[in-house]
Every structure is written in structure tokens, then in C-alpha cells.
Amino acid sequence: MQQLSEKFFILVIVMLFFGVLHLLAPILSPFLMGALLAYLVNPLVKQFVAFKVPRLLSIIITFAILFGVIVLLFLLVTPLIEEQIITLVNLIPGMIVWLKTTFHLDSEAINIDAIKTVLTENWDKAGGIAAWLFKTMLHSGMRFVAALMNLILVPVVTFYLLCDWSVLLQGLRNTLPRHLEPTVVKLVVECHEVLSAFFRGQLLVMLVLCVVYAAGLAAVGLQIGLLIGLTAGILSIVPYLGFTVGIIAASIAAFMQFGMTSAMLLVWLVFLIAHVIDNVFLTPKLVGNRIGLHPVAVIFAVLAGGSLFGFVGVLLALPVAALIMVWVRYFYKSYQDSKLYQS
């Protein structure tokens, strides 16, 4: 009877936790991102501390490195993406004409000419990504202010979590019932291993695929190859999504640019090579089966995360799903060992 009461109490606590989590979803984004960022950079902070650098100074150095990397990537990647977007915008009128001719589309019914005007003229008037961002900030009003506040909150939350990381972990550990502590600590360690596998492996796979796709399509001579390659690499976090979206977009772009020529075959060859590299070398070596998520579970997790928490939910969906899988495997093993299953 006492065990039943304890389990009921734990179930109520878990349900209340997820209920509050759902109610507070609109304001949780910066805190979730701050916690995730703290988890990611804490190993680097620990490395500096291991070299006898004070923890506060280690955190400041880590922040400086992180900020420098972000600024460097922004300065290097933004001009390339802007150039690709301008190229895409210039190609859109020809694409629309081809669609109208090939599929006999009615310009008035779907207002294709208006779409063409908006996409081509407005971008030229905006003057590029920087000007477009500035105009968006002016017209968004309070939404921009809220987004800016959330953006400022992320490093603040990250900083304070890093300062008190060990204290927080010890405090959480001290709140656990003594007879449950070994089991919970074991599960937390397993969760940490799964998350480490995800961030070290899956994100590195995405980076390599971005480079392979973008370099391959650029070598073929595709005008917007960099944009398609980066998009396909990022979407590869969901199994087969990056490959599918990338090969369809690249095939259409290649057909519009070259027609039905050998360039189409080269585009398909790029994606075939990238697919083989991913399935034979990258995923088995860098990720393996440590995450243990079925492709259908991955798709569901991404959609559920996006529905609950928006863009941040999409970012956090797979790590959270991997953690849930650890707990599901534990409870399933406990169920198999129980009298209920064996009777």
C-alpha cells in the first residue's frame, strides 16, 4: 500500500510538472535555450578550470570564444547566403514563366505575376538581408522588443547556470528520496551519454553534410547550390528529410538552369555520394545506435516540439525525445522484471 501511495505521488508530481510546463510554454523559450547552451559549453568551462583558471574567468573566456565564433560565422556566411538569395530572386521570374507554360497555370487565378513582383522588387528595394532585418524591426513593434528581450535573456540565464552548475546539480540530487537516488543518478548518467552522443555526433553529421552538399552542388555549377546544400544539411537532422527536400529542390533548379542534361545526373550523383557517406561512415561512426530513435519517432518529436514551443521546440525536440527514450527503456525493463509481466 505504501509503494502504491509513493507511485501515485510521483505520478501526480510528474503530471503537475508537465501541466505547468505547458502553461508556461510562451515564456520558457529563453530559459530552455539558456539551459541547453549552458549544458553544451559547460565541458569547455570545466577544461579551463582543470588548467587552474578560476571558474568565473573560465566562463568569461568561454563566452568570448562563443561570441567570436558566432560573429565570425555571421560575417563569413551571411554575404554568401545573401548572394544566393539574390540569385534565387532573379531566377524566380523565369521559374514562374516555366511553371505557367508547362502546367498551363492561370496567372489571374493564382496571381503569379503579383507574386513575381513582390519577390523581385521588394528585395531590391530592401537592399539585402541587413536592410530587410532593419525594416522588419521597425514594423514589428512590440514583437521585436519581446524577441530582443528573449535574446538578451539567453546569455544571462546561461551565465548564471554556469556559475552555479555544480551547486544546482548537488541540490537536485539532495532532493531525491534516498532509496531512489542510485536509480535516478544512473538514469541521468545514461541520459548524459545519450545527449553527448547526439550533440557530438548528429550535429557533426549535419555540418559535414552541409559541406558535402554545398561543395558538390557548387562544383556542378548550380547557381543556388550553396543555399540548397546548407538547407539540405540542416534538415538532415530528421532522417531522409534533408536528402528528399535537397534532391527535389536541386533537381528543379538544375532543370531550370541546364535543362535535361548531364548536369541533372551530376546533381543526383552528389546526393547519392552524400547519402552513402552518411549511412556508411558518418552516422554509424559518429552517432551509432546510442540515441535509439526510430525515424517515425524523430518526425513526431520534431512536430510535437514545434507545436508546443515553436522554433525552440524544434531545436530541443530530438534531445528531449532521446531522454524520454532512456526513461521508456528503463520502465519497460522494470515492467518485464515485475510480477505483473511474469505472472
Q: What is the pLDDT of residues 52-73, one digit of tens each?
A: 899 899 999 999 998 898 888 8
H helix or E strand, kind and range, residue 321: helix 295-337
pLDDT for the residue 282: 80
Running DSSP on this structure, what letter comes out for residue 260? Answer: S
Inter-CA distances, 231 with 150, 175, 258, Å? 25, 44, 21
Inter-CA distances, 203 with 215, 267, 319, Å? 18, 24, 11
pLDDT for the residue 213: 93
Question: For 217-240, how does the pLDDT look when each residue is reduced to its tens digit (9 = 90+)?
Answer: 989 888 888 889 999 998 887 777
Answer for the pair 282, 208: CB distance below 8 angstroms, yes or no: yes
Q: Is 292 exposed, middle or buried (0-12, 13-18, 19+ CB in 10 A)?
A: middle
CA neighbor of 196 nearest in space, from 281, 280, 288:
288
Place of cell 534516498: 178
The percentage of the chain sitting over the pLDDT mark of 90, rounded to a whole number, equals 9
The whole-model pTM stands at 0.67
pLDDT at 121 over 70: no
pLDDT for the residue 8: 63
pLDDT band for position 288 (50/70/90)? low
